[in-house]
Structure 1
C-alpha cells in the first residue's frame, strides 16, 4: 500500500494520510486523529498540539501489508523531530542526501531537515508503536529551556541552514524513557487533564534526551565547525562518485582532513563509517533507479559501483529485506 503525499507542508501530514486511506479524520483545535479502515488493518494515528511550538504524534497500528508514505515533491518543515519506536519496524529514506534511518523496538532518532523528499516504510503483520515529538526550531530555546549552543555541533550546523544534508542521530531508549512512553500511549485522562499529563511526560522525555546530548556529550566533540563542513564535503564526493569512489586516504586528502578526523567525523555526523555511508548511498540510489526506470538489475548494479549483480543483489537484500526484482514489482 502506497500513500503519495501532496501537501506542501509537513504539518498537514496526518490530514493528507487520512484522506488517502479514506479514513474518517476527527479534528479539534488541539487534536487530529483517525483510525485505519478495516481493509488496511487495525490502528490509529493521533496528532496533538501540546503547547505552542510542540506537537506530539502517536501511532499504533498492525497492518495487513507494508505501508509506504511517499513525499516525492518535497515537503517544507521547520520542525526538529524526536521519534521513539516501542515496537515494530519503520524505515525512513531521505532521497536527496541518500540517508536512511531504521527504527525498531527501543530505538529512536533525533532529526532535522528543512525539506523532506523521500519515504517512510512501515512493516506489516506486527504491531508498530511510535511516539514522535515535534519542536518548531524557532521555539527551540524556550521549549528546551536550554541554550541551542549546547546542542551537538552538527545539529547546530543543520539548524542554522549551513548544510543541505539532514541531521540524524540515533539513540537507544533508556528504561526511564520507556516508562514515560508507555504512560503516553496509555494515558488515562481526557480533555485538559490529558493535555497537561502528556505535556509533563514530553518534558520528561526531553530531559532524558538532553541529559544524553549535553553538556558533556556536546562539549566533548572533537570536531570544529570547519571539520563538520569538510565532512559534508566528503559525503558529497562519495555521492557523486558511486562507481569509482576514492579510498579513505584519498578522500581525507581531498577535503583537507587526516584519516582519523575523517573516520571520527562520519561517526559523529552520520552515525556510521565512511564505507557504511557509501554503502547506504549506493543502495538508496539503486532503489531510486529501480523505481524510476526500466534498467536491468545488472545495469543498476554497475551504475552504483558493483561489478557483480550477485554481490549487488545480496547487498540490496541486506538493506531492504527483499531482492531488487521483488522490490521493483512492489514499487
Structure 2
C-alpha cells in the first residue's frame, strides 16, 4: 500500500483532529474530550504522531479501516481498527503512525479521559481494575495499556448518535456531553465486569484466536446467507463447540449471537439512509420476517424499529429548520 507522509504531532495538551482527516475536537469538560472523525479519503494517508503523558482513550470504530503502529520503551503494538472494534488504550511517551487506506468513508469516535476524571469515577473500586491501570492511583498518570473490548449495542448506538447529532449551539453541547458520559459509564461498567470475572472464561491461544477472527470474517462476508456453524468450523479447522466457546470468550456471545448483532447494526444503518421501509430492511439483513426483525431489534436496542425510524425522521426535520 502506497502511503502519504503528512506529519501530525499529537500531544495531550491541545490535542486536535489529525491533519488530513475531516472531524471535530470537542472539549466536553475539564479532563474529558471528544474527537469525532467522519471523512472520505481519495488516497492513502499516513500520519505520524508523538505523545507525552497520555490520556486514557476509548475508541469506537464504526466505518472504514485504519491501522495503528505504536512504539515505546515497553515495545511495539500494531493493530487494525475495523467496524465494530472498540479499544481502551493509553500510550504515554510513544511514537507511531496511523494509516488510512483510500476508502469511501471512515467514521470513529474517541473519548480522551485525563487521570483526574478517571480517578473520580473509580476512586472506591481501584482494587477491581487491571494492574496496568492501577498506577494512576499511585502516581496520577497512566502507564501503557491496550485492551480490545466487544462493542456493546448501546455503545454503537450512542457513538452513532454523536456522529449524527442534529443540534446546534447549547443544545448540541449538552447532547454531546450526555452521550460522551453515557459511553464512559458503559465502558467503566464493562471494565469492572471484566475484572470481576477473575478470568472465569476459557483462555484462547494465539492460533485459535486467529482462526476465530477468520471465522468472523467468513461469517460477515455474506451475513444474509451465512454458512452453518459446522461449515464455518470446518472452514477454519476447529470443532463447532470450540469455535462457539472461543467466540464467546473473545466477542462475549456465540457465533450466531454475533451474527444477529451485526445484522441488527446493519439494519440500523439502513434506517439512517431512509431508502427502504422496515419490511425491506428486515429481509435485506437476513431476517425471516418483519415481526421477527422487530422483536430482535427491540431486544437489542430497547426501541421498536418503527419508533427509531420516526426519531430519525424528526432529527432530519430539525436539521432542515
Normalising by the residue count of structure 1, what TM-score does the alignment of the two structures yield?
0.54
Matches within 5 A, 1:170-319: 170-214=148-192, 216-221=193-198, 273=206
Give the match for residue 46 of structure 1: 24
d(CA) in 1 for partners of 2:140 and 2:208? 24
Say if 2:51 is the partner of 1:75.
yes
SS at structure 2 position matched to 1:141: helix
SS at structure 2 position matched to 1:4: coil
8 Å CA contact retained: 2:64, 2:103: no
String of CA shifts for 1:118-163, please: whole Å, max 9, x gaps. 1111121231001000000133122567644432233325775799
d(CA) in 2 for partners of 1:181 and 1:63? 21
Say if 2:8 is the partner of 1:5.
yes
Say if 2:37 is the partner of 1:64.
no
Give the match for residue 224 of structure 2: none
String of CA shifts for 1:259-304, please: whole Å, max 9, x gaps. xxxx96xx7xxxx749999xxxxxxxxxxxxxxxxxxxxxxxxxxx
SS at structure 1 position matched to 2:158: helix
Which stretch of structure 1 is more off in the superposition, 161-170 or 106-115?
161-170
Which runs of no fewer than 5 residues in structure 2 stay unpaired? 211-321
Say if 2:34 is the partner of 1:88.
no
Which stretch of structure 1 is more off in the superposition, 160-169 or 200-209?
160-169
d(CA) in 1 for partners of 2:136 and 2:40? 34
d(CA) in 1 for partners of 2:35 and 2:167? 17
Give the match for residue 104 of structure 1: 82
Which runs of no fewer than 5 residues in structure 1 stay unpaired? 22-35, 37-43, 224-262, 278-331
Matches within 5 A, 1:105-144: 105-143=83-121
Give the match for residue 145 of structure 2: 167
Normalising by the residue count of structure 2, what TM-score does the alignment of the two structures yield?
0.56
Change (3 A) 1:133 1:63: same
String of CA shifts for 1:3-27, please: whole Å, max 9, x gaps. 22346x2444427x44xx5xxxxxx
String of CA shifts for 1:150-183, please: whole Å, max 9, x gaps. 3223332577579997211112211111111111
Q: Following TM superposition, by how much is the alpha carbon of 1:222 offset from its aligned partner in structure 2, in angstroms?
A: 5.5
d(CA) in 2 for partners of 1:94 and 1:203? 27
Change (3 A) 1:52 1:147: farther
8 Å CA contact retained: 2:34, 2:112: yes
Give the match for residue 16 of structure 2: 14
8 Å CA contact retained: 2:87, 2:148: yes
String of CA shifts for 1:66-101, please: whole Å, max 9, x gaps. 111112xx4213310000000001111112321112
SS at structure 2 position matched to 1:189: coil
d(CA) in 2 for partners of 1:6 and 1:222? 38
Give the match for residue 155 of structure 1: 133
Which stretch of structure 1 is more off in the superposition, 205-214 or 159-168?
159-168
d(CA) in 1 for partners of 2:208 and 2:81? 21
